[in-house]
Structure 1
């Protein structure tokens, strides 16, 4: 399976200036080529190359490989746009959002990621150095840093292109690694159920509860601070907003990684599979009051499920998704279904047999029973395969697996 390892670069001021100039030149050329592709209706690689290749090399001073990667990045961006339009991710045809996406060419930010192949980039992994092509010539001995697990993965499994990326003044290389996945030897002896929620991020059928109070407090505090800074609207407030813009997402992602790593390790150790609720479309099905909407919208259940899917696939742990209908209203002891069984957010009390338990723990037992029923009927692991290797830097930047490859990540 493909895993993207993120490596931090520590260039000197001279090296950083060369990298910044190169990245800006590549993205300016990509924006120009995108305009040509949009105007002429040519969005395939070889056809667009005939119209843009020579001018990209002459006007921006890019080498042959860099010019070809710029053209391919433009074509990949239009392919992604077409796929999003077809899937309805940008609204219905004729809607304002749909028109905005289709009536102008794709533009690239000056700091957008740029692909590099092995002709333009060489690694000295044992020395923690790289040599990279720039518009000012080859820049050698750029210091890189990563966790030992990441360096081992790079040495053993690195394959394909890497993306150069600048984010908040920091330089990174995103390298693709083909990591072998484990094959399950036998059927699972049982299922470890993960009941996902907002108040409690995850509750297992073993009775373990991962509370979300800390994350909820962080989100409320960040939301109030952002509102206050926007109202102030001074230069210092804008700088602070920019500095804090990804704090909440990073903390949520870190907490999700820790939870998933613990859960998958426990399932692998005990020879069990993992059962999850299929919460697809829950945001569209649920109607909420205004004070609840921000909390519900920031619920990262999809990210947690994606992390479980690919980590379980690497560990050879089967994953089964079940229908969540009535799991919170059904008694795990007698099977009685009643809306009144859920006496509060935290507690479950059966109106038929009198069984009392934590609501999330009772729900996880019901999910476990459904998972066993599905498995006995021949259901296979439904853990989705990780997405194919993205061909553009921007797509790989958004790849889910990239979030597991942070600098100091213990996951690899």
Structure 2
């Protein structure tokens, strides 16, 4: 499996100025290539490269950076096409979709730029890199990372690295190709119910409360609204400084929860069963106060974290149909809305079974995970 390892660059003043000029030039070239692609309706990688290569070279790019700029532009249009096909930009004729389709894709001055091993070399033991730049190659640019990241780079780094400038800091995102771990045959499944009141609940009864995360989000929402109303230069500076704090907090919380879930599944020899929540924002109808919570809740991120950590640990993972998991009784299978009198309570109107609603849902998910695993694995065994 492929993972991205983020390392922090520590260029001196001269190196930073050169990196800034390099990123500016690459994205200026990307905007030129994007305009050519849009005007000629040429979006394939090879065709766009042939169309723009000479002009990109004339701008001052070397051969490999010019190729990567063309590929970056082609990839951006491929992503746009996929989003349109998936309906993420609205229906045909909608204002948002017309806006996306009616002009070339633009690239910010500090948009990330990929480099391959011909443009960027790593001296991992010395914690330095050498990178192509405007006016000549930059050597011995220092980078910093944790021991775990350093070990991953030394053992598994392979492929492209992205140069990123964010909030006044320089980063490299290095691709590491981790060998696949053989998935162990699971002895049952750990069902995980993802929710808002409780971010994640397992069928063992472990509940990871979302109260603290939601409290932080509501506080940040009120603070953003207050600063936006004020609108002064100082308020805008505070808004800019705080814009990533909530994202980092949510990602850290999700990493911790995912690690605990995968560790428990690995310890007990079980697989993990998750709900397939694709399209939940379109399916679910909530009261106005709950909508902000739903639409800012990083449930997809948590699912991704659980998935990749499970893959690295060799833990089986299945996604199950979420239909009626919260209304069905895990004891007798009876499904009714009346089984769920409130958010936290489940009481079966047929057999009288009572349990926390999220734990009951997690048990249903675990049972479906086991059934789906058998359905998939038996044909292979035969």
The equivalent residue for 1:74 is 73
The alignment status of 1:331 with 2:313, answered yes or no, reads no
SS at match of 2:42: coil
Work out which of the residue numbers 284, 293, 305 in structure 2 matches 1:307: 305
Deviations 1:109-167 (A, max 9, x none): 00001111112111111111111111032211211011111111111111111110101
Segment drifting more, 330-339 vs 101-110: 330-339
The equivalent residue for 1:263 is 261
Where do 1:174-253 residues align within 5 Å? 174-185=173-184, 187-253=185-251
CA distance in 2, matches of 1:102, 1:324: 35
Please give the root-mean-square deviation of Cα atoms over the aligned residues, in Å.
1.7
Where do 1:2-41 residues align within 5 Å? 2-41=2-41
CA distance in 1, matches of 2:311, 2:63: 39
Whether the aligned pair in 1 keeps the contact of 2:53 and 2:66 (CA below 8 Å) is yes
CA distance in 2, matches of 1:137, 1:108: 24
Deviations 1:308-359 (A, max 9, x none): 2222122111112222222222333333333222232122223344333221
Deviation of 1:50 (Å)? 4.0
Deviation of 1:71 (Å)? 1.7
The equivalent residue for 1:138 is 137
Where do 1:12-411 residues align within 5 Å? 12-59=12-59, 61-185=60-184, 187-378=185-376
Whether the aligned pair in 1 keeps the contact of 2:130 and 2:139 (CA below 8 Å) is yes
CA distance in 2, matches of 1:40, 1:377: 49
Alpha-carbon spacing, 1:351–1:43, altered in 2? closer, same or farther (3 Å): closer
Whether the aligned pair in 2 keeps the contact of 1:181 and 1:315 (CA below 8 Å) is no
SS at match of 2:107: coil
SS at match of 1:163: strand
CA distance in 1, matches of 2:91, 2:357: 39
CA distance in 2, matches of 1:222, 1:35: 38
TM-score normalized by the length of structure 1 = 0.87
Deviation of 1:168 (Å)? 0.7
CA distance in 1, matches of 2:350, 2:73: 63
SS at match of 2:199: strand
Q: How many residue pairs end up in the alignment?
A: 378
The answer for unaligned runs of 5 or more in structure 1 is 381-412
CA distance in 1, matches of 2:166, 2:122: 21
Deviation of 1:368 (Å)? 1.9
CA distance in 1, matches of 2:54, 2:167: 33
SS at match of 2:139: strand
SS at match of 1:377: helix
TM-score normalized by the length of structure 2 = 0.94
SS at match of 2:355: strand
Alpha-carbon spacing, 1:129–1:96, altered in 2? closer, same or farther (3 Å): same
CA distance in 1, matches of 2:320, 2:55: 55
Structure 1 residue runs of 4 or more that deviate by more than 4 Å after TM superposition: none
CA distance in 2, matches of 1:40, 1:203: 52
Segment drifting more, 278-287 vs 38-47: 38-47
SS at match of 2:132: strand
CA distance in 2, matches of 1:354, 1:257: 37
